[in-house]
Chain A
């Protein structure tokens, strides 16, 4: 402890935390102090160790070295028992996970009480709870209909329930893991206003992010993690984008540039397509994709993007209308769609993109395993498969121990490169890329973008579905918005900006915004 910090007792103090997973050092000697009324941003690329650090704080992992200290009610620091979320909760640490942990079939109020009140208490004192929550809502500006069933709440409202749950448990330290990942820009702004209010009321807040814009606008202090090490602990006021980017990556990254598109004829046509059910349903969608063009599809997740991806992947069929590729109907199964020349980069690359227990080589050829190039008389051609793998590993710079390494062991960026290599090297006519850079570091993201632009320049029609507006504005030639199963007419990227897209994502028609 240095002297100037010793004057105020921090709310929370992490001391020399080190955590290893086998040979990987996820956190190396990380120390941080969080003071009352402060908002800290934990910035870092995917795999930098942000989430590991917060999981240690919350007791999901135990640090190999180091300890956590929390201010007690007497104002002195007390050691937090490692490895139990229970102790973390009891000492006033509240965590809002990236994927919410709410029971969908219960009301917001029940979700907040669940796990907070003893299970065997004869009757929950709902009235007292409600009064306490009303007071909290008034103080923090977190408005939620407590009686509403969670399944009926929008994503932003669910997040508010999560925060309220932490506050109800008298959290003094609030940790939010990638809180804006599922929000529209407007909702994100609202969230950060709330956080400011909470900090003003004396809470200490840590939020994890890899988006520099929100870190710069919403935090008091930035801690940058890189490869498990704390590389910077700076006042936000003295930071700028370039500084943070350099700190995050450790070197400068060439962002791929995009020349003006020369779109060809329409390749893929949606004609009055309806498909899917529930929130993800598409209703009567008409749009077309031109060759030599990257079309972006912006939208808050769960507005029909999933159904659209499944349609183009051959995993779901339209209930009415037709999807046509070069005038012929799109095949109704995945193998047929691949043969028709549609490359699909799935949103959840671990779940849908690779078979983790199989080798890198197997994953590189899995879509074409029945082609004569890789099998003959039903038997695998190991030599050809290996040759292809070695070639792809080199061409795409897939960092792995070798072609026979299990794909699961690779980082997210390298897994995405496997998917890119196997789909794009088939020279597809249509490329569907769903959240292609989600969770990837800056370098891998640039690589993904370069490959998509190259596919466009080769004449492919590229559809990029993304929630990351910066990404869309950077690589797309035109952008459409998907909202409640409807797709707006695409507009050239040059005519759009984040604010306008944000409003359209929230359901406001584009022209109304122009008039206002």
Chain B
């Protein structure tokens, strides 16, 4: 007989290794669809590794891909820590990007020292304000933020498409639904010549560090953690519940908005409605893999980015569909969620044993 019992104590070592094992398990399980696609499995893994880490160029691509994932991962991690379930990072990313191109594509002209902070700030503000709506609906009306943030994603995506087809369409864009390009002053510089990795990575790493300090060392972080762990005790102890949710919502939305800024101002140079291949949703996987730790988000984002970049390059080399990357990411989320059960509960196999006295009595 199998029984599941809650664990009394979870050791830190165990809590650290379980997500790592989950990631390994997810990579292992990817062998099944690879086999089904007819690929040679060992060379598939080798080309996946080479695609992600095999050259300076590969690493640059990996870090380029990790940049938005760190930021959306932070968005999810901060919100989830306070049990504010922000599933809307995708939409917040898009409004962040939209605000960046609105400010940075010629509406204002100033030197980079002013333009770049301005563009970042406007994107963060847009993302934060967008997240403020579901946050207030939660605190004032009790509306479930999972539903409201998720649905807002579709509204925002359609809104962005409308803007790109209409008022913000680039007249020089040869009819493509895309925004005007960012001005050179508003563009984030590349980190290295001939590499795509850009200053957005440094900004993302800085944001992770800052959030780590806020979450672990500040009064705000204390209040956010208390709220996430036991909202009714937090309220009873005089912690301003609504104000804290609002802070969490603003910070979370701002991080996702910053991801949008970083993509248009650092990588693409202009906005299209397919600028994010689901970074907002992958950010949830990143945050869960990271155990909601801002520093862990960096590691998890690099892992997920490696899966995407590696699987991309592998699919080209092995001529299998690049959906394999999505599959591995989905598998890692499932593995993490399942493994979290193992962290919190232990599975016991029980063979009913009867004491000697009782057995004698039976006879």
Contact = CB atoms under 8 A, between A and B. Distances in A.
B234 interface: yes
B108 interface: no
Contacts of B235: 315, 334
Interface stretch (A16-24, A216-224, A471-479): A16-24
A265 B100 CA distance: 64
A351 B233 contact: yes
B222 interface: yes
Interface string B225-253: 11001101111111110000000000000
Given A334-B236, A358-B226, A62 B3 contact: yes
Contacts of A346: 236
Contact of B232 (A337, A351, A358): A351
Interface in B258-288: none
A460 B352 CA distance: 57
Contact of B357 (A1, A355, A358): A1
B271 to A, nearest CB: 35
Q: Describe A's contact surface by its main secondary structure.
A: mixed
B218 interface: yes
A369 interface: yes
Given A24-B8, A369-B223, A313 B236 contact: yes
Interface string B206-235: 000000000001111011011001101111
A354 interface: yes
Interface stretch (A65-73, A110-118, A161-169, A319-327): A65-73
B238 A380 contact: no
A79 B353 CA distance: 11
A390 B350 CA distance: 42
Contacts, number: 112
Nearest to A334: B238
A4 to B, nearest CB: 16
A65 B355 CA distance: 7
A357 B355 contact: no
Contacts of B239: 334-335, 366, 369
A356 interface: yes
A66 B219 contact: no
A358 B237 CA distance: 13
Given A82-B352, A333-B238, A15 B232 contact: no
A352 interface: yes
Interface in A314-359: 314-315, 333-338, 344, 346, 351-358
Contacts of A1: 357, 361
A378 B229 contact: no
A66 B355 CA distance: 5
A152 interface: no
Given A62-B3, A82-B352, A355-B233, A335 B240 contact: yes
A192 B219 CA distance: 53
Given A352-B233, A355-B230, A69 B358 contact: yes
Given A375-B219, A378-B219, A315 B236 contact: yes
A356 B7 CA distance: 15
Contacts of B233: 351-355, 366
B1 interface: yes
A382 B357 CA distance: 56
Nearest to A338: B238
Interface string B323-363: 00000000000000000000000000010111101100110
A141 interface: no
B55 interface: no
Contacts of B42: none
A358 B238 contact: no
A379 B229 contact: no
Interface in A343-400: 344, 346, 351-358, 362, 366-367, 369-370, 375, 378-380, 382
Contacts of B234: 355, 366
A88 B362 CA distance: 19
Contacts of A382: 217
B238 to A, nearest CB: 3
A62 B350 CA distance: 9
Given A334-B237, A353-B233, A375-B219, A79 B8 contact: no
Nearest to B216: A380
A82 B355 CA distance: 13
Interface in B1-38: 1, 3, 7-9
A146 interface: no
Contacts of A65: 353, 355
Contacts of B350: 62, 82-83
Contact of B237 (A21, A366, A375): A366
A66 B226 CA distance: 42
A91 B87 CA distance: 49
A358 B229 contact: yes
Contacts of A370: 219
Contacts of A81: 352
Interface residues of A, number: 47
Nearest to B226: A355
A380 B236 contact: no
Contacts of B238: 314, 333-338, 367
A25 interface: no
A16 to B, nearest CB: 5
A77 interface: yes
Contacts of A77: 361-362
Nearest to B228: A357
A379 B219 contact: yes
A237 B236 CA distance: 47
Contacts of B7: 22
A344 B239 CA distance: 14
B230 to A, nearest CB: 4
A366 B355 contact: no
Nearest to B9: A22
B229 A355 contact: yes
A380 B217 contact: yes
Contact of A69 (B217, B218, B361): B361
A433 to B, nearest CB: 14
A22 B358 contact: no
Nearest to A362: B222
A453 B244 CA distance: 36
Interface string A146-174: 00000000000000000000000000000
Point out which of A351, A356, A358, A409 has the most chain B C-beta atoms below 10 A from its C-beta.
A358
A81 to B, nearest CB: 8
Contacts of A16: 355, 357-358
Contacts of A338: 237-238
A424 to B, nearest CB: 15
Given A1-B361, A346-B236, A83 B1 contact: yes
A333 B3 CA distance: 45
Contact of A79 (B230, B232, B354): B354
Contacts of A358: 225-226, 229
Nearest to A76: B362
A21 B358 CA distance: 23
17 contacts: A23-B8, A62-B1, A69-B361, A315-B236, A333-B238, A351-B232, A353-B236, A355-B226, A355-B230, A358-B225, A358-B229, A366-B237, A367-B238, A369-B219, A379-B218, A380-B222, A382-B217
Q: Which A-B residue pairs are the 8 nearest by beta carbons? A: A335-B238, A22-B8, A334-B238, A357-B229, A355-B230, A352-B236, A366-B237, A67-B358
Given A16-B358, A21-B8, A357-B230, 4 more contacts: A15-B358, A358-B226, A358-B229, A366-B233
